[in-house]
Every structure is written in C-alpha cells, then in structure tokens.
Structure 1
C-alpha cells in the first residue's frame, strides 16, 4: 500500500492549556511554539482561543511576530467563534492568519446551547467565513460534539457537511469532544464521511476520557483521516487529549502506510519542557516519556538483555533521546546490579556480588529507594572496605528565624583541604547550597543543577520518622540521583548532597 502524508497539529498551547490549573506565560508559549515547529517539526500548532485575555493576546502577538519572520505564519492557528466578526478583529490585531472556527457538530448542542435552527447557524457561519476571507484569514471549521452528532443526529451532520462543501474552507475538524466513542466507531464514522466527501480534508481530534485516545486516532487514520490533533503529554481538559508521544510511536511502528514529519528524537525533550512549564508531572509509567518506561526492574529481564536482548522491542529508548536503565531494589538480580556497576566502572567477584545483591534486596524490602550512585556506599558498608570520600562535610550551622533570611555556615574538606564559608538563602538547604557553590568556585568546579527534590517518610509514620530525600542532579555530561536518610529533612538533603559532591570530584 502506498503511503500517504498526514498532518499533525499540536494543540498543547490551546486545548492543552485547558488542563486544570495550567496557564502558560507569553514567553513560555513562544518557547514551546518554537520547539514544536522547529525541532519537533509538527505541521501546525493551535496556540490560543480568541478573546480570552490580554495576556493571551500578547502571547499570540509574540508567536505570530516570530512565525511571520521565520516562515511559519500559515502553521499558526487560533480558535475563534461565530460572533459577528469580534474574533476576526482580535486575530487581525494579534497578527494571526488561520482561524479554527468553533461550530456545532451535533443537533443536541445546536438546539439546547444555541437554541437555533440549522439554517440560522449555517447563515452566521457563512457570514463569518466570508468576512475572514475578505480580511485575508484562512478558515478551518470545528464540528464541536461531532462524535455524538454521528451517534444521535447523523442527518444533521451530513446536512452541515453539505453546507460546508460550498464554503471556502481548508479543513473540517472532527472532534470527539467528550472522549466517548470507541475505536470501532472512530473507524466507521470517519470512513462514512471520507467516502462521501473524498476531496475534503478532515482532521480527527481525540480526547482520552476512556483512555482510548491513541486507539481512536489510529482507527481514524485507517479510515482515511487527513490529520490528527495531539497534545504534549496528553494535556487537555478532564482526562486530556490523545498524547503526542504515544501516537507518534504507534504510527511509526504499526502504520507503514502513514507518513509523518514529526521528529521523534526530541519528543522527550519537549515533553520535559512542557512538564516544567505546566507544573503537571508526567506519570512515571507514561508510555514513551515516563521515567520508568525504559527501566528494567526484574533481574531476569536484565539477564535477558545480556543474552541477545531478549526483552527489547522496537520501542527502543534511543529513538527518543533516552537510555535504558536497570532499577535497584528487592526485585534486582545480579544482572541488574552488574549493569549499574559497569556504568560506574566497578567490578566485583561472584561472592561479593551476592553480598551486595542481598543488601539491596533488604533495602528494597524496607521500601528504601536505591540509586546507582548509592552502590559505592553499599559496597563499602557490606564488604567492609574503605570507600575513599574525597569530599566530607565536616560541620555546619543552620539558622532560621522569623523575619530573617535563613543562613548557613559550613566547613567542608576537599581532597584533605578544609574550607569554611557562610551564605544566605531562601531556605536552610538553599543557604547551604549557596555556601557550597562559593567553596567549589574556589577550586574551579561548577556544581550540577538540582532539577528534582523528593522527600518521603514511611506511610503511617510520625514526626520522628526517618526521612528519605532523593535529589536529581543534572550536569553537562549526565543526569543522576543521590539519596540521603536522616530523621531531619534538611540533614537528609545535606547527606544526599555530600554524595553528589563526591561523585563530581571523582
């Protein structure tokens, strides 16, 4: 079967921003827009709804200005409304050239929300499209609640499409607004429409309320859909939209008859940026982009990877700019631990490896998180030999008083030489880190950035419980984690930091 090119339209900045509690700043929107078009290479982006706010207006202006200067203006789209030209005037002032006009795709919405007849609605739509054309704005049309329209008022949907066939519209967009249809319905509905109107470009817009977004998108493409609407990390209202990463992986691996231009190598990078800007964390088990999806936990899997990659699939982490990892915990076998030791440049004989494996299993049973960077300390403890600590935090004073900035005085030894420094910070740990940075600048070492800080105590514990702090660091060369354990949260963070300092010195 000959392949056919389809368009990928990203709507993270419009529909994705409807995720509860999410609001991107103008600079964040511009940064994401650039990445989507220049690096991820999606075909189009939907960046905003017209008339929402002054902040939204300024964000759209900054994106359209950049897009105009870089040849992307026709790929930048704005959701608009049938409102006697108010949205179009907003677009003109914002510099946008493509409107995605929201209309009613089900008789239920038309009757009970607009309280109008189809002829009245079509007349107003026709006037809006004509005005847009007169002002040099291209029109795509959303059929809101289209999926329920096909289920419950199919005659109205076809009446609407007959009308749109006469209009200067570039694309007709078919949203499963409430995320309610099944993959079978997606195939049947899109097939019916595409066979009746083969010359109209149809986009399919899936929501994920039943976790069927990717499956519905897949079936819509099989049925002949010309484009898909996706969001980074599956962001969107309620359960979100069909997620970009999973859908792209599915198309590339299971649909050879579909051609897309998306660069999957940067999917993870864009996903992490959107996670950072939105504050919505990516679940660890989220396909393709989750923290755990390329991590082997069971020892038998690590062993299989050593024997002709028995547990590999086509979904290789390198495709997405990632690497395979081997978790350490109660399910770890010797193969898991050997993989991590190899990355650290360490070797153990079989007898010592068994002892270290047993200790890691014991720690896992106690629900303690073990990282690769903990291995030298565990080895030192279990095998009773000295692990050379080139950096040692000798002493410190932490102060916190109401109305005053927290401060720290710290004494630290680096390769036998002692340094002392004090500093202020936004918190006790921040003050500690500021003092450490000053000291390490004296020895011409730049510390890695702290990119994640997780604290936990065992469930059911009290205020005197042991506190485990896991800090993720990112340097130019790599990203890694260190762990500290203490009854005091700040002290446990300092212990995790001391491990980090030894790693970078080594």
Structure 2
C-alpha cells in the first residue's frame, strides 16, 4: 500500500491540493500499479474531503474503489459519516497498539478501548464499509507491553476486519526486532492478514521492510520519496528494488519503470527536493564520476550491478569533472555520437579538469561547446596573447581595465575606463592598436548563451560579430565560466584572425 497521500502528506510543510492528490492517486494505481493507496485522514479539512470525493469518483468509475483507503478514528459514527459523504469504502481505523499510549493518551483500560473499537467496527459494517485496523505505537508495544499487544490481537481476531496494520510509529525498530516481532505474530495468528508500516528515523526503514517480508507479513506500507513525518517512511522505490533483487520468491505488482517519473512529479507537487544521492530516484545514483569506473564499464561493465538504471526508465551517466579521466569523456561523446582524435580528446580532457579544479559543474550539454571552442582555437595561429588584465567595478566609479598584451612578441600595457568592464577592456585594447597604428574592427553584435536547458553553471559562450571596414562580417567565440572572460577570449581570437 502506498500512503504518500496520507502519511506522506504529514511531511512538514507539505499540503497537496485536491487536483494534485487526484493526479498522484491516478498515477499510483494505473502507472505505478500499487495494490492500494491511503489517500487522507477523515475529518481533517474541507480540502481533504474535496480531494477524497474526487478520488473516489474517479476510482468508482475505474472499478478501483476498494483499493482506496482512508485513515479514520475511534469516534462513534463521526468518521463513518465522513466516509459515507466522500464515497470511500475502506476505512483504516486508528487504535492504540501500546499500553503506554492507551493509558496516557486515552486514559482507558484495554477492555474499554476494545469495546469502543468493536462498536465502531459494527457500525461501519452495517454501512457496508470495509474495515482495517492500525495498532498505533505497536513497535513500542512489543518492546514494553507484549501482553497488551497479544490481548489486543486476541480481541481483534474475533472482529470482522480485513487487515491488521502494525506500524513502527516512531521508527525505533532494528531489522532483528522487525523479523522477531513480526514472525512471532504471523505464526501466532495464521488467519489474520498483517501489514507492516515502517518509519525511517534510524534510516532502517527499507531494511526493516525486507525483514518484515522475510517474517511473512502480507502487506507493506511505503511512500514516494520516503515522505512522511519526521524522517519519513520506508521509500517505495528502494523497497521495491530490494524485494525484487533480494527476495526472488516475492512478487509485487509495482512497475519499476514508473518509479522515477512519479518521484519527480511528487517532488514538484510537494516542494520537497529529492537528495541527489537518494537510492534509485536521486539524480546522481546512476552517475559514475571516477575515471577508473568509467574505464571499467567501457572494458567489461566492471562497475555494473543488478541495479541497472534502465529498469527505472533512466540511463547511466558519466560525470565530467577533475576526476573524470578520458574514459568518462569518451563515454559521454559516444552518447552524443561524437568522435575526436587523440590530441583533441586530450585537450578536451584538460579543459574539463581545469573547470573541475574551479569547482564548476560540467554536464554532457557543455561538451559540444567545449569541443567547438578547442577545435576553433586549433585553426587559429596564436600571434597575439592577452597576457594579463585587471577588471574593476566599484560603486560610484566607472568600470576600468588594465591590460598587458603581446603582439608578435612585442609587449604593451594600457589602462582605460568604460561603460562596463568589457567596454573598458576594449578601450584599453584600442589604445594599444592606436600605438601600432592599426585599426580594430567594429563590434556589431554580442551574444551570450549557455548550453540548452540552462542547467549548467560551468560554461558561458560569448559570440561576437565583427565588421572590418570594406569587408564581410565574421564571428568569434569565447568559452569560460565567466561572461566577461569568455568575451575577452572571443576578442583574442579576433585579434589573431586579423
């Protein structure tokens, strides 16, 4: 059962609109193919009621109504009436699974609580509702009040409930405890259907789910991106991957290929960013960074595992940075359908290492720009070198530039001001060429761009169009992480072309 829309929405700062809830519910049942979804808590708000009404209307028309569940409370017939008004058919009744909660929160004896539960179940059955029960704080109940837990389960075994849900409410269980407690209960009550609901406070949610399934539980509760209160719930994508790879006798209905796309949708709707290193759905989890790994993949898939990205509708990436090495770059070029000579490949590799040393992020989209810049530079004979420059920009002062340049081995140094840093640089350059009694071409167009998609912070390409008096226009390109520097590089190419 996926409980993103109920327990997942208890993530701090998250509130789905009715239309968002409907969209997620539809995807969970039709694309992800979850068996069941828990979509709301009864009595919470008018918006919650509107969302459940929209979901149940669609689910009924799609013959999926009994796969939509709502959390309800031991409150006589109040939750039952709410259920009827929304059109929902399956109620998950929240009850007390530890003596500590029962004594200090409800201030009741077990027999009183059981009588109240039986009353609600009887009323719900009369209204044609399907009833499941949650044993809130069950994990602490097993640790500290086992007799109460078994007293409760002896009682519930006499009631017309479909499923008994055992939550690790505070995320306190270890894998060993999960297996021990659940296997004991499953063996003791063979006729009951048990669900396990793991929280992730110690980052053991997925491990506990695995142990729960080993112990023989019949259902597991998960959420997209591990959303939920505090540290969240056991994440759907991780748990499904673990079960598929390490529990060969267990089959689930979940479609792995849909997990990444629904993760991104929930990330967008919730506003809660998925960490880049989150297993299965994180942006970096199928990205090799070290060059030795890329080299091993190229030679015999040495760094592949069963956790292949294609299973989840994704593809392997090779990061570009100072640790990349030639193999990473070759893999990226292959994906782009580009082949380079060995000398050019070395130059591209060196450029990427330089950017990595500056802590700049290089993406595959940057590669054509880097290659273009390097191949373009290869065709130009370097007779003019801009050796040093200082650019200043200060409040209430005009931008200025100090430039040292070598032209055919002769060195010049000039200073100038301008309307901007690049304008100041060009004014200093004009002073140099005036001394040489040479005229610079006119700048007629200046374009700045980054690789398509705008997701990179590494590169900026400046394309400048020049007009030489009485001749045709020509363009030069400069590439750098800084816009002004990329323009200066484009200008140096112009000077060498002259």
Q: TM-score range by the shorter chain?
A: 0.7 to 0.9
Alignment of 1:98-497 (within 5 A): 98-385=90-377, 485-486=481-482
1:216, 1:203 → 2: CA distance? Answer: 13
Larger Rg: 2
Q: Distance in 1 between matches of 2:296 and 2:351?
A: 23
Indicate whether 1:54 and 2:46 are aligned.
yes
**Residues 1:268 and 1:63: Cα distance change in structure 2 (over 3 Å):** same
CA contact (8 A) 1:380 1:386 kept: no
Which deviations, in whole Å up to 9, do the C-alpha atoms of 1:275-315 show, x marking residues without a partner?
11111111100001100111111111111111121111010
> Given that residues 167 and 197 in structure 2 are in contact (C-alpha distance below 8 angstroms), is that contact kept between their aligned partners in structure 1?
yes
- Shifted more, 138-147 versus 371-380: the winner is 371-380
8 Å contact kept, 1:453–1:469: no
1:377-413 CA-partner distances (Å, limit 9, x unpaired): 22233344489xxxxxxxxxxxxxxxxxxxxxxxxxx
Kindly indicate whether the alpha-carbon contact (under 8 Å) linking 2:260 and 2:281 is maintained by their aligned counterparts in 1: yes
Does structure 1 retain, via aligned residues, the 8 Å contact 2:363–2:456? Answer: no
- Correspondence for 2:24: 32
**In the TM superposition, what whole-angstrom CA distance separates every residue of 1:6-25 from its partner, at most 9, and x where no partner exists?**
xxx00000000000110111
Aligned partners of 1:150 and 1:189 also within 8 Å? yes
**Counterparts of 1:262 and 1:274 in 2: how far apart (Å)?**
17
* Structure 1, gaps ≥5 residues long: 1-8, 388-417, 420-428, 433-447, 456-466, 471-482, 493-506
| Structure having greater relative contact order (Cα 8 Å, sep ≥ 6) | 1
Match of 2:406 in 1: none
Say if 1:469 and 1:196 are closer, same or farther in 2 by CA, change over 3 A: farther
After superposition, the C-alpha distances for 1:165-195 in whole angstroms (9 at most, x for unaligned) are 1000000000000000100000000011011
The equivalent residue for 1:78 is 70
Contact map agreement 1:43 1:75 (CA 8 A) in 2: yes
Cα displacement (A) at 1:362:
1.2
The equivalent residue for 1:500 is none
Distance 1:386 1:12 in 2: 55
Report if the CA contact (8 A) 1:82-1:124 is conserved. Answer: yes
Contact 1:329 1:364 survives alignment (8 Å): yes
Provide Cα deviations, 1:348-375, integer angstroms capped at 9, x if missing partner: 1112211211111111011011111212
- In 2, distance between residues paired with 1:97 and 1:469? 57
Secondary structure of the corresponding residue to residue 283 of structure 1: coil
- Cα gap change, 1:153/1:382 in structure 2, threshold over 3 Å: closer, same or farther? same
Structure 1 match to 2:88: 96
Structure 1 residues 484 and 249 mapped into 2: Cα distance closer, same or farther (>3 Å)?
farther
Aligned residue for 1:256, secondary structure, equals coil
Q: Could you tell me whether the CA contact under 8 Å between 2:362 and 2:456 is conserved in 1?
A: no
TM-score (ref. length: structure 1): 0.76
11-20 or 342-351: which moved more? Answer: 342-351
| Paired residues of 1:454 and 1:469 also in contact (CA < 8 A) | no
Unpaired segments of 5 or more residues in structure 2? Answer: 380-443, 462-478, 487-498
Contact map agreement 1:82 1:102 (CA 8 A) in 2: yes
SS at match of 1:221: helix
Label 1:372 to 1:135 Cα distance change in 2 as closer, same or farther (>3 A): same
| Alignment coverage as a number of residue pairs | 404
Question: What is the CA distance between 1:84 and its match in structure 2?
Answer: 1.3
Confirm or deny: 8 A CA contact 2:366 2:459 kept in the other structure. Answer: no
C-alpha distance in 1 between matches for 2:125 and 2:244: 37
